[in-house]
Amino acid sequence: MMACGIWIFRYLVCGLLVLTAVGVVEGKNAGKDLRQEADRVTDLPGQSPVKFRHFAGYVNVRPKDHKALFYWFFEAEEGVAEKPLVLWLNGGPGCSSVAYGAVQELGPFLIRNNQSDLILNKFSWNKAANLLFVEAPVGVGFSYTNKTQDLETLGDGVTAEDSYGFLLGWFKRFPNFKSHEFYITGESYAGHYVPQLAELIYENNKKASKDSIINLKGFMIGNAVINDETDQLGFIEYAWSHTIISDQLYHNILKECDFKSNTATSLCNAYIRSFLQAYSDIDIYSIYTPVCLRSSGQTTTKLLAGPPLFTKRELWYKLPMGYDPCTELYTETYFNRQDVQRALHANVTKLSYPYTTCSNVISKWNDSPNTVLPIIKKLLGAGLRIWIYSGDTDGRVPATSTRKSLNELGLPVEEAWRAWFHRRQVAGWVVTYEGGLTFATVRGAGHQVPVLRPDQALFLFSHFLSSKTLPPSRF
């Protein structure tokens, strides 16, 4: 019964015990949101002491819904009341923002080995903002549905709607952040998630009551999937320009494969197999870093959506993926620990499957438009600040792809392509377009920019939030 009094009653019923506990606390803390306090994390295994607060738990997608999304929220290290609120989304689709963004990339606590301790990240993005991670859609990480058929109907549209519903519920639990400037960030397939969610917020704000308006100001996405045709062309060009494929294979693919219609001849199929084989021994997401070698073989991640002509090949799902697949194993081990789940108020429904960095229970993806460029153009016209960045050693969604895709927008250039600097060194290159769009590269970073260039990533993020121009010189 003690487990019910301390743990389960936070999310389940436990009868009158909830009402009694609430009555006592309300009398002492008038106006305090008890659900918010119930989500506060106070005893996370392996965590060093910190001055900021963090919270984790579930928010129903809609009131009394059978779907609930899991979140982890970190207040800013300083100036909580003044700093913006930023949502981070990972892609896949089907991969966890908690397992990747929060503990492998930009959160305050990082998992870097198979020990229990969490490493403090001195370049955590909660130095610049209040930072919210959510696992979406249901079936990802700890997020769940009580109707298994929901896992068969997932896609971009459902993900956007459910994420929006989550945000409305989260702001009710954390009303003190409702007036903060709100930004959405993410990487990879979040190139779909982020603009689609931003558009939904923008449209719903037009008809929302005052209590339901979300103070959206802009978004930033990295190494983003945004336009299939040009993404695929840039994918091929990058492999050739970085000496991964031969001249002959490069020209043969361009000759035989139709990326506009995504139709393939038998020769195209053969050439794509050769292309994928060329990447089979290196990390496509960070072409200059080593892969993790294990006696049982390399760890791979199966992603549900990708370049249409490439994901039809079985070899696509066998490529080494992620900077260090061993780190992904450490992450899964950590989040499968019962003491960790208790501390994070997670897995309250006792899921029938283990925690994984990318979902093994989502078997298909039902809608994935071939471009989000019209959404980006629309939201630029609506006055949102939009930055897109690329780690320039990523072979999966390379800078060549993003440059070609953004050129499709046909926007006039406001400030021409130039180097930008951090700590007196070239940190990348940047171009600014009329209307509020900035595209920046990060020198020496792969698909997950904060992993290999954490200092530069935080610097870039801070400039995005403040809308400051990236430094044009060493001094």
| Active site residue ranges | 188, 394, 447
Bond from prior residue into 137 cis (ω within 30 degrees of 0): yes
Q: Which of 190, 126, 122 is nearest to 462 (CA)?
A: 126
- Quote the distance between the C-alpha of residue 408 and its chain's center: 24
Q: Which residues make Cβ contacts (< 8 Å) with residue 139, sequence separation at least 6? A: 94, 145, 150, 151, 154, 359, 361, 362
Residues recorded for the chain: 475
Q: Are 401 and 437 in contact (CB under 8 A)?
A: no
Instruction: Tell me the C-alpha distance between 124 and 109, whole Å.
Output: 8
C-alpha to C-alpha distance for 221 and 295, rounded to whole angstroms: 36
Q: Would you give the DSSP letter of residue 382?
A: T
Secondary element (H or E) of residue 431 = strand 425-433
Burial of 195: CB neighbours in 10 Å, binned 0-12, 13-18, 19+? buried
Residue 292 and residue 325 in contact, taking contact as beta carbons nearer than 8 Å: yes
State the virtual CA torsion across 285, 287, 289, 292 in degrees, nearest 10.
Answer: 60
The answer to whether the CB of 434 falls within 8 A of the CB of 98 is: no
Residue 399: how many other CB atoms lie within 10 Å:
22
Cα–Cα distance between 367 and 165 in angstroms, integer? 19
| The three-state (H, E, C) secondary structure of 272-300, written as one string | HHHHHHHCCCCCCCCCCCCCCCCCCCCCC
Buried-exposed string 288-320: b where 16+ CB fall within 10 A, e elsewhere: eeebbeeeeebbbbebbbbbbbbeebeebeebb
CA-CA-CA-CA torsion sign (315, 450, 378, 192) = positive
Side-chain half-sphere CA neighbours of 361 within 13 A: 21
User: Is residue 325 within 8 Å of 99, Cβ to Cβ?
Assistant: no
**The dihedral of CA 458, 461, 467, 471: what is its sign?**
positive
